[in-house]
Amino acid sequence: MAALPLPLASATPSSQSHPVFSKPSYFITHAKRSNRLRVSCTDSRNVETPLGKVDRRNMLLGLGGGLYGAANLISSPGALAEPVSPPQLDKCGLSTYNTNKGVKMEVPCCPPSSETITKYKLPPVTQMKIRPAAQNLTPEYIYKYNKAIECMKQLQKDHPEDPRGFMQQANIHCAYCNGAYTYDTKPGKDPFTLQVHNSWLFFPFHRWYLYFYERILGELIGDPTFALPFWNWDNPKGMYIPEYFLDCRSALHDCKRNPDNLKAVVDLGFTGSKNPDQVVTNNLSIVYNEMVAANADAYGFMGKPYCQGSNEKESGPGSVERGSHTAVHVFVGDPREPAGEDLGNFYSAGRDPLFFCHHSNVDRMWTLWQYYLPSDQIPDKRITSRDFLEASFLFYNEKAELVRVTVEDCLDNRSMGYDFEQCDLPWLDYRPPAQTATAKVIRSRKTAPNAETVFPLNLDKIVRVLVSKTKKGKADELLVIENITVDTTKFLKFDVFVNDEDDDLTDLDKAAYAGTYAQVPHKSGKKTNTTSISLKLTNLYNRMDVEDDDTVLVTLVPRHKGEGVTIGGIKIIENPTPVKTANSSG
Ligand code: C2O
């Protein structure tokens, strides 16, 4: 196991320095007693807006009539290669999911409708909100955060139809992610069901979702500067559930969490390692892999294209979405619950306040990738397709007005008025140790069939195959795992190793670790998705001896139990988007 890397000396230290794994101080009760602190819910009569017009029963059912102007103006549904248009709320249906036992469940998650939809205009930024690292919150901040969530829960009790209430906010995720929005298509075509995961919509959708959630919290406590903390699970100082989420007297508490993981080190790898130090180094290796090493182009990070009428089968999740993001969901979700509630299934994930703290960090990972990724890794990080930029969603803002937002308007967090507390990025130049000279000898003794002879196969145990390189040595190549077909109702994960030299596959902090595929359960039925992933091998070759090899040994290690994934094939191709180095570009 590699030694724990030290935080970068150059990074700005956070306001409090916690030794690794120290717990944050815990003061909610104390803070409540303090006279200095007066945060209360604003009077909901002052903040309630246009809902009076719509029959309440209809709103609860998501049936409120009206003009769905924005939705109607955009696109003929079903056509390929058009940006995703906002859902028609009056056509919102039931969401579905499967229990762990395979029973199909239906659940109503629709928001109220509204007669007016306005295109959202980002307000001018007068004061940058700074989202703090969750482990660094002051007692006052914890108190305020707790109070804001309490207000949101109170609003739900007092006005269940208010779209800013706690369950209404949670249900946004359920509706967008578990199949509530189906669009009519041309006769003879399958209806198109909107899904905001598994594609390039993942980061933008969740950014907007948190943006309004944060503004609503600010509105409810009368503090427009309120900023949503981020769960800093990419840093050893933040690799546990922040303690103030665990007190059952707090609004931040949720009973539906895995009791074994409440105080455990976050495990982004699910390798089965019981050694907390190993879990920490695995985590850093995973984040380094998905942020820096594994992606050859912007889609590798952001996710693949997904358009109006697209079949989800044509898209696929980016590296962080399928990797650390999925892991945190499943780490927290309660395996005793029928469908891994709350965080372990998309339909219920938003019911745990920790979801938003987790996604605040997911959002931060996007900004870090945009602004910190070393420039020698990806040739171009921008996606300029109109199908991406013009994709749009609907949300209720902090005044309970229904607004339409576009991907284009959320690409720069600072123009949206928020930024993140600067923290160490111990994964940024994390390099797993190079393979030793004997590794090559050891792996040459392993016998493995050629990839062409074994696929397709059901990945229910470890598989080792030989794959041909495009040319000998340290070529700029991608490993492509094709036609990964997954059962969307299950948690599934497998790790990919190239030229692994030992059989202890619980360690991910090694040169041979090439990447991960994983998903959070969401849809119902035995619906399947098919996708492929491409993993850049360049960084990995630099840490092992492949000089005169014309094949590599690829190992696929499933981390879930049982069936659910089939793999169509594995091949190695030349990197189609090589990075020009400083030398070659002159
Ligand atoms: Cu929309 Cu982390 O999920």
Quick one: which atom of ligand 1 is closest to the CA of 205?
A: 1
pTM, two decimals, is: 0.87
- Whether ligand 1 lies within 6 angstroms of the CB of 201 is answered as no
- Whether ligand 1 lies within 6 angstroms of the CB of 325 is answered as yes
How far apart CA 386 and CA 407 sit, in angstroms, is 10
pLDDT at 536: 97
- Whether ligand 1 lies within 6 angstroms of the CB of 207 is answered as no
Helical spans, DSSP H, in 289-418: 298-302, 319-320, 326-332, 354-372, 386-389
Phi, psi of 514 (to 5 degrees): -105, -20
How far apart CA 210 and CA 216 sit, in angstroms, is 10
Report CA(538)–ligand 1 centroid distance (Å).
30
Pick from 131, 143, 74: nearest CA to 394? 74
Q: Which amino acid is at 337?
A: E
How far apart CA 44 and CA 220 sit, in angstroms, is 8
Report CA(233)–ligand 1 centroid distance (Å).
16
- Whether ligand 1 lies within 6 angstroms of the CB of 177 is answered as yes
Report CA(109)–ligand 1 centroid distance (Å).
16
Quick one: which atom of ligand 1 is closest to the CA of 359?
A: 2
Cis peptide before 342 (omega within 30 of 0): yes
Report CA(317)–ligand 1 centroid distance (Å).
12
Report CA(346)–ligand 1 centroid distance (Å).
6
- Whether ligand 1 lies within 6 angstroms of the CB of 536 is answered as no
Note the Cα 333 to chain centre separation in Å: 15
Beta bridge partners of 464: 555
What does the radius of gyration of the chain's CA atoms come to, in whole angstroms? Answer: 24
Report CA(350)–ligand 1 centroid distance (Å).
8
Please say whether the beta carbons of 535 and 497 come within 8 A: no
Quick one: which atom of ligand 1 is closest to the CA of 321?
A: 2
Query: What residues are labeled active site?
Result: 173, 197, 206, 325, 329, 346, 359
pLDDT at 312: 65
- Known binding residues are 173, 197, 206, 325, 329, 359
- Whether ligand 1 lies within 6 angstroms of the CB of 173 is answered as yes
Quick one: which atom of ligand 1 is closest to the CA of 202?
A: 1
The Cα angle at residue 470 between residues 572 and 430, in degrees rounded to 5 = 60
- Residue 74: exposed, middle, or buried by beta-carbon count in 10 A (0-12, 13-18, 19+)? middle
Phi, psi of 98 (to 5 degrees): -110, 145
Quick one: which atom of ligand 1 is closest to the CA of 326?
A: 2
Please say whether the beta carbons of 176 and 522 come within 8 A: no
- Known binding residues for Cu cation are 173, 197, 206, 325, 329, 359
- Whether ligand 1 lies within 6 angstroms of the CB of 170 is answered as no
Q: Which amino acid is at 465?
A: V
- Whether ligand 1 lies within 6 angstroms of the CB of 159 is answered as no
Q: Where are the beta strands (DSSP E) in 380-429?
A: 392-396, 402-406, 418-420
Note the Cα 46 to chain centre separation in Å: 35
Q: 518 to each of 328, 472, 521, 533, how far by Cα in Å?
A: 11, 31, 10, 11
Sorted by where each starts, the structural domains of the chain and their CATH numbers stand as 56-420 (1.10.1280.10), 439-574 (2.60.120)
pLDDT by residue for the chain (586 residues), tens only, comes to: 444 433 333 333 333 333 333 233 322 333 333 334 567 787 543 433 333 333 332 333 323 222 322 332 323 333 346 899 999 999 999 999 999 999 999 999 999 999 899 999 999 999 999 999 999 999 999 999 999 999 999 999 999 999 999 999 999 999 999 999 998 877 877 788 999 999 999 999 999 999 999 999 999 999 999 999 999 999 999 999 999 999 999 999 999 999 999 999 999 999 999 999 999 999 999 999 999 999 999 999 999 999 988 766 678 999 999 999 999 999 999 999 999 999 999 999 999 999 999 999 999 999 999 998 988 899 899 999 999 999 999 999 999 999 999 999 999 999 999 999 999 999 998 889 999 888 888 877 778 999 999 999 999 999 999 999 999 999 999 999 999 999 999 999 999 999 998 777 899 999 999 999 999 999 877 688 999 999 999 999 999 999 889 999 999 999 998 899 999 999 999 999 998 765 443 3
Q: What is the pLDDT of residues 124-157, one digit of tens each?
A: 999 999 999 999 999 999 999 999 999 999 999 9
